[in-house]
Amino acid sequence: MFFMQMFDRLIERMSRRTAQSVSRRSFVSSLGAALVGATVLPVLPVARKANAAEDPALMWAKRVGAQTKDDAACNYWRYCSGDGYLCSCCGGGPATCPPGSSPSPTSWVGSCLNPDDNKMYLIAYRDCCGKDACPMCNCLGTAGEMPAYRPQLNNDIIWCFGGSSMVYHCSSAAVVGQV
Amino acid sequence: MPCSRLVASLALATFMFCPTLHAEAPRDGDGFVPADAIPDVNLRAQGTPVPRIGRAREDFARHCQGCHGHEGVSVAEVPRLRDRVGWFAHTREGRAYVVQVPNVLQAHLPDDRLAAMLNWVMTSFSAAQLPADFQPFDADEVRGLRTQRLDSVVRRRAEVVDGLVRAGVVDSADVFAFSLAPGRY
């Protein structure tokens, strides 16, 4: 019982001391600042950047478990924005056309994350053309892709234009550079 | 009092996060990365070094190079940039035209990055054709020009080229040969 009284008195003394030294106005202003801060901070560019949808290339790499060793698999890191049959499965390589087809003079460029060094690279998606479609290893990556009304950022388009043939064979993915 | 405290805390918060913002600073992108420094089975086998890409060149690569080519030269259907695009900087109309060409005007790029990308294109592909007193594009100029849309791009191009010939910048419109005829677009 004695202990409880001691405790009561202690708390009472502390409250009174606080009440004497701190004005109610000061408490209200701090609370106000905290509330306003909580609403304003998320609008700052910093917070927006942090909450912005994760980079699509990073999301793709996480989702498919991107790897750097097997270019005949859809989750090979360079294929994050490619759409079509892998030239690697058709007698070519990730950046070379199979015999009998030729690289289109035009391509579209995306960026992929290399999961092993965590750096971003620009990738040119160049279709190999001039031979019937090679229906092997059909892969679809859509990282950073835009609708077809942004054709230079769209991969549904057959990127064979400008070449001698519009017949699509397969899709290659060459590393343009490190960003 | 609450106001000043709020301002102070916001300033502090911004200051604290500044390094994050500054990480977006322009990249020069000079030089090459040795192939064996990049974890990729094919690059290591080939051994070809990979270029480092700066911001302006990346913006060009992602938005233009697919058709214009990484050297600014491509197929007949796409106007060449190399050894040519700098001529446009000789007249006010020409400067406006290179910003108002639809895929530049509508590019998914803010005005400052678009200006930097245009300057990179002008100086990388066509420095010899630029006027001696070439003024780089800046965000304000680009922002203003982007508000005006061209109705007929090919017709406008022909007018601008005609202006360059009349001003004596080039001898003949053939310098700008391009396979699309006026009126088609």
Domain boundary, last residue among A12, A27, A51: A51
- B49 touches A: beta carbon within 8 Å: no
Tell me the C-alpha distance between B168 and B113, whole Å: 32
Whether the per-residue pLDDT at B131 is higher than 80: the answer is yes
Kindly list the averaged pLDDT for each block of 10 residues, start to end, along chain A of length 179: 73 78 66 59 50 78 95 96 94 95 89 95 94 92 80 76 88 94
Whole-number average pLDDT of chain B: 85
Give domain limits for chain B.
Answer: 1-52, 54-185
Q: B54-185 belongs to which homologous superfamily?
A: Cytochrome c-like domain (1.10.760.10)
Q: Of the given ranges (A18-22, A29-33, B65-69, B77-81), which has the lowest mean pLDDT?
A: A29-33
Same domain (yes/no): A132, A74? yes
Domain boundary, last residue among A33, A51, A69: A51
pLDDT in the model for residue A105: 87
Partner-chain contact B41 A71, CB within 8 Å: yes
Whether the per-residue pLDDT at B89 is higher than 60: the answer is yes
User: Nearest residue of B to residue A144 by CA position?
Assistant: B62
| CATH number of the domain encompassing residue A71 | 2.60.30.10
- B66 touches A: beta carbon within 8 Å: yes
**Residue A138: domain span:** 56-178
Confidence of residue B125 (pLDDT cuts 50, 70, 90): very high
- Which of A23, A28, A51, A68 should be substituted to probe chain B, the one whose Cβ sees the most B Cβ atoms within 10 Å? A68
- B67 touches A: beta carbon within 8 Å: yes
Structural domain count of chain A = 2
Closest among B169, B87, B171, B164 to B128, alpha carbons compared? B87
SS3 A112: strand
Same domain (yes/no): A47, A62? no
Confidence of residue B185 (pLDDT cuts 50, 70, 90): very low
CA distance A59 to chain B (A): 19
Tell me the C-alpha distance between B174 and B167, whole Å: 15
ipTM exceeding cut-off 0.90 for this assembly: no
Same domain (yes/no): A40, A113? no
Same domain (yes/no): A111, A129? yes
Catalytic: which of A108, A116, A117, A159? A108
Q: What integer is the mean pLDDT of B152-171?
A: 94
